[in-house]
């Protein structure tokens, strides 16, 4: 099992749609955190999610990227 498999399974097993979305956003945030220099790979990891959760995951990727850019973090 990979990190994205675990995240996908955990989020998709949540019954409440709003909570699923929050989980997918958090997963995208995590994917970007662990692949700081490779946004395209983090976005690719989001493809494990079914639509529309994959878009929420990508939203999380962008959120983390913006956080790092706004704090002037240099990987």
CA distances from 62 to 1, 23, 25 (A): 25, 15, 10
Here the tokens at position 53 are 């959760």
Element (DSSP H or E) covering residue 67: helix 53-70
Count of domains for the chain: 1
pLDDT computed for residue 3 by the predictor? 81
Averaged pLDDT for residues 37-60: 94
pTM: 0.88
Say if 29 falls within a structural domain: yes
Say if 20 falls within a structural domain: yes
- The mean pLDDT value of the chain amounts to 91
| 46 alpha-carbon distance from chain centroid | 6
pLDDT computed for residue 61 by the predictor? 97
Domain containing 37 equals 3-68
Say if 74 falls within a structural domain: no
First to last CA, the chain: 27
Of residues 6 and 74, the one with the higher pLDDT is 6
């Amino acid at each position: 099992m990979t990190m994205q498999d675990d995240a996908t399974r955990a989020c998709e097993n949540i019954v409440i749609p709003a909570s699923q979305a929050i989980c997918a956003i958090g997963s995208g945030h995590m994917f970007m955190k662990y692949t700081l220099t490779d946004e395209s790979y983090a976005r690719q990891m989001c493809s494990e999610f079914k639509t529309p959760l994959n878009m929420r995951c990508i939203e999380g990727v962008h959120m983390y990227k913006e956080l790092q850019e706004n704090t002037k973090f240099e990987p």
